[in-house]
Amino acid sequence: MPITLEQIRDNNSKARQLLQRTREQHFAVGAFNIDNQETLIAIAKAAQKLNSPVMVELSKNEVQSMGLQNVREMVDNYKAEFGIEMYINLDHSPTVEDCKAAIDAGYEFIHIDISQGNHDASDEEIINGTREVVEYAKYTGAVVEGEPHYFGGSSDVFKEAIDYDEIKKTFSTPESAKEFIEATGIDTFAAAIGNLHGKYPVPKILDLDLLQRIRDAIDPKKFISLHGGSDTPLHYFESAAKIGVSKVNVNTDLRFAFRTTMDEVLDENPDQYAVVKLMPEVENAVQKVVEEKISVFNSTGKAVI
């Protein structure tokens, strides 16, 4: 059953309060991608165990697979069952229409990313589309995130090393971050400081000095997110939370744990066709990854129920 407008606005108010707490208490919220129910359960169990607020998030392919409204109801069910603080983020949504649908469905966090659908989108197209979502979200109070250009990588496991000379060309700057926020009115700015989607054969390197300059340059009431939270040395996130990052996205590490553990349990149980009986071990592997991230994001014990 769809939630009411009153419930949506109440949830969105709590979501905004959460982001304010991240700044006051120097922690970041983990935003964990889901593409199946088992991953959602693993995230919920980790949140309950560590008393941490969490976001679950899904991008366009995951929405198409699981259903926008279905996920809303699943999250509400597990939030009540586990007694946790949990929200939904629409991740890298490429169209204004998709964002509006998620806002109507009661998603608390909306990431509009025009460049995801069109890597060659002009600055004007990105700003206008982002601003349209910001205006639409005012009716329910949903938190809107945006970025001024295409973000590198994907949620895959890569064999090639990172070409940082090329990546640095796409880094955010304090000036461009400030200008984009002021032009669009977004609540959260997705910063590019060396963070990349996916797993690579070499560690990612984040420019924390640049992150600090961005934080100092933008409106203190605005928030910063980091995408590409997988396969990154954990100390970067400890520092980023202290600097003022409010949200870190994690996808590939969860998928990698899910897939590799599933392969192992399938090999160990060749005659077991009731796959549901094999899932507890897979869920446990994903849960361990979520718990590790929660710990370095400093969100343990920060939930408000």
Distance from the first to the final alpha carbon of the chain: 22
* Amino acid identity, position 10: D
Angstrom distance (rounded) from CA 46 to CA 295: 10
Let me know: does 136 contact 103? Beta carbons within 8 Å.
yes
Let me know: does 206 contact 214? Beta carbons within 8 Å.
no
Decide: helix, strand or coil at residue 85: coil
The catalytic position among 91, 113, 187, 253 is 91
Region of residue 249 (left: phi > 0; alpha: psi -120 to 50; beta: else): beta
Angstrom distance (rounded) from CA 250 to CA 232: 10
Q: Does 91 participate in catalysis according to the annotation?
A: yes
Tell me the C-alpha to C-alpha distance, in Å, between residue 274 and each of 266, 277, 287.
11, 6, 22
Decide: helix, strand or coil at residue 58: strand
51: phi then psi, degrees, rounded to nearest 5: 50, 50
84: phi then psi, degrees, rounded to nearest 5: -125, 165
**Which has the closest alpha carbon to 226: 213, 207, 199?**
207
Catalytic positions: 91
